C-alpha cells in the first residue's frame, strides 16, 4: 500500500491518495474544493493536482472517502466523481449531521444520507479493487467521523492529529468529548504502537514545518491533549474548557452546506445563481437593529 499526500495551506487540510502498487487500484481521502470567501468563488486547483497525480501514476480511482462532514473546507468529491466515475463514501452518522443542520440553513436537502453512494458502518471492510479498507467509527468531533485502516496505517481525519497539536474539537452540534475519548483512547490506542497515523489536518504549531504522519505509539506517549495515561474525566474537562475558547472555522457555513450534501453546491435559484445561506446571530436572537431581542 502506497500513500501520497497533498497539503492545502489555506485550510491546513491533508488529502491522501492511497493505492495498491501492484494493481493501481486507489482511493482518495478528504479532497479539497478551493473556495475564496471574499469573492465567494470556487476553483479546482487543489483537486486538479490530485487528478494529475492519479493520471501520472495510472491509478484506477474507485472511491472518494470522507472522514466526516468537514466544517473548514469544501469537499471536491463531486468533481472526482464526475471525472473518474468514483463513488463517494462517508460514515452512516452523516444522517444525524444532516438532521442537525437542515434546520440551521432552512434547507431542502435529504437527511437520509442518500446523496452519498455508500454509508459506512463500524467494522465493515470496503473493497476498492484489490485495496481493502477497514472502517472504524471514531465519533466525538462529529457523529459521522470515521477512521480508515489500510494495512499498518490509519487515516484519522479530525479525531487524532500530530502529537504536538492534539485531537479534534468537540463543540460542533452533536460533538461529544466523552465519545472522542472512547474513539481515541479505547479504539485507536488499542491498535499496535507501530501503526502509522495519517492525520486530516496539520496546523503547524509554533510555525514548524508541516507534518502529516505519526504513530499510535508516539501519540499514546506524547499527544498534548490525550495520552494513554489521560483519564476520561480529565480529558472531558479539558476539552470542554478549551473548546469554549475556540472561534468558529472561517468556512464553517459554506463548508457544511456543501459537505452534508455529498460535495454538491447549493442548487441554482430561479435567476440561475447559486447562494450560500449564512445565519445571522445563530442561537442569539436579535432585533432588526442587531441588538439582543
| pLDDT score, position 169 | 98
204, 210 Cβ separation under 8 angstroms: yes
Average pLDDT score over residue span 277-287: 87
- Tell me what pLDDT residue 99 has: 95
- Residue 280, Cβ neighbours under 10 Å: how many? 7
Residue 292: burial class (beta carbons within 10 Å; 0-12, 13-18, 19+): exposed
Q: pLDDT averaged over the chain?
A: 96
Region 179-188 average pLDDT: 98
Give residue 216's pLDDT: 98
Give residue-wise pLDDT tens across range 95-140.
999 999 998 898 888 999 999 999 999 999 999 999 999 999 999 9
- Where is average pLDDT lowest: 45-54, 149-158, 254-263, 282-291? 282-291
Which of these ranges, 10-19, 38-47, 60-69, 277-286, has the smallest mean pLDDT?
277-286
For residue 44, the model assigns a pLDDT of: 98
Region 205-224 average pLDDT: 98
Domains of the chain: 2-255 (3.60.15.10)
The residue-averaged pLDDT of 211-224 equals 98
Distance CA 73, CA 47 (A): 12
Q: Where are the alpha helices (H) located in the chain, listed in sequence order? A: 45-56, 77-84, 94-105, 177-181, 216-222, 232-243, 252-259
pLDDT at 176: 97
Identify the CA nearest to 189 among candidates 138, 144, 237: 138
Residue 292: the pLDDT is 86
Of the chain, the percentage scoring pLDDT greater than 90 comes to 93
- What is the share, in percent, of the chain residues with pLDDT greater than 70? 100
- pTM recorded for the entire structure: 0.96
pLDDT score at 237: 98
Helix, strand, coil: what percent of the chain each, to 5?
25, 25, 50
* 74, pLDDT greater than 90: yes
Instruction: Using pLDDT thresholds of 50, 70 and 90, give the confidence band for residue 282.
Output: confident
pLDDT band at 285 (very low <50, low <70, confident <90, very high): confident
**Is pLDDT at 283 greater than 80 in this prediction?**
no
Per this entry, what is the length of the chain? 293
Amino acid at each position: 500500500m502506497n500513500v501520497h499526500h497533498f497539503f492545502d495551506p489555506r485550510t491546513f487540510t491533508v488529502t491522501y491518495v492511497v493505492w495498491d502498487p501492484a494493481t493501481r487500484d486507489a482511493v482518495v481521502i478528504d479532497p479539497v474544493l478551493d473556495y475564496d470567501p471574499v469573492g465567494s468563488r470556487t476553483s479546482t486547483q487543489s483537486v486538479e493536482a490530485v487528478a494529475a497525480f492519479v493520471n501520472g501514476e495510472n491509478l484506477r480511482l474507485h472511491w472518494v472517502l470522507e472522514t466526516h462532514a468537514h466544517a473548514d473546507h469544501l469537499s471536491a468529491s463531486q468533481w472526482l466523481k464526475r471525472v473518474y466515475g468514483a463513488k463517494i463514501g462517508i460514515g452512516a452518522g452523516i444522517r444525524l449531521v444532516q438532521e442537525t443542520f437542515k434546520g440551521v440553513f432552512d434547507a431542502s436537502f435529504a437527511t437520509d444520507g442518500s446523496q452519498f453512494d455508500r454509508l459506512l458502518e463500524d467494522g465493515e471492510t470496503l473493497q476498492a479493487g484489490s485495496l481493502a479498507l477497514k472502517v472504524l467509527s471514531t465519533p466525538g468531533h462529529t457523529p459521522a467521523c470515521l477512521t480508515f485502516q489500510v494495512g499498518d496505517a490509519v487515516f484519522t481525519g479530525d479525531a487524532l492529529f500530530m502529537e504536538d497539536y492534539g485531537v479534534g474539537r468537540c463543540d460542533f452540534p452533536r460533538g461529544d468529548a466523552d465519545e472522542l475519548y472512547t474513539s481515541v483512547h479505547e479504539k485507536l490506542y488499542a491498535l499496535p504502537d507501530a501503526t502509522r497515523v495519517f492525520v486530516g489536518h496539520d496546523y503547524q504549531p509554533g510555525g514548524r514545518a508541516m507534518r502529516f504522519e505519526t504513530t499510535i505509539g508516539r501519540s499514546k506517549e506524547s499527544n498534548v491533549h490525550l495520552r494513554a495515561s489521560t483519564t476520561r474525566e480529565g480529558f472531558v474537562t479539558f476539552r470542554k474548557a478549551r473548546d469554549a475558547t475556540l472561534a468558529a472555522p472561517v468556512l464553517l457555513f459554506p463548508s457544511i452546506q456543501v459537505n452534508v450534501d455529498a460535495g454538491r453546491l447549493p442548487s441554482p435559484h430561479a435567476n440561475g445563481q447559486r447562494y450560500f445561506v449564512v445565519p445571522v446571530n445563530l442561537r442569539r436572537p436579535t432585533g432588526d437593529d442587531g441588538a439582543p431581542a
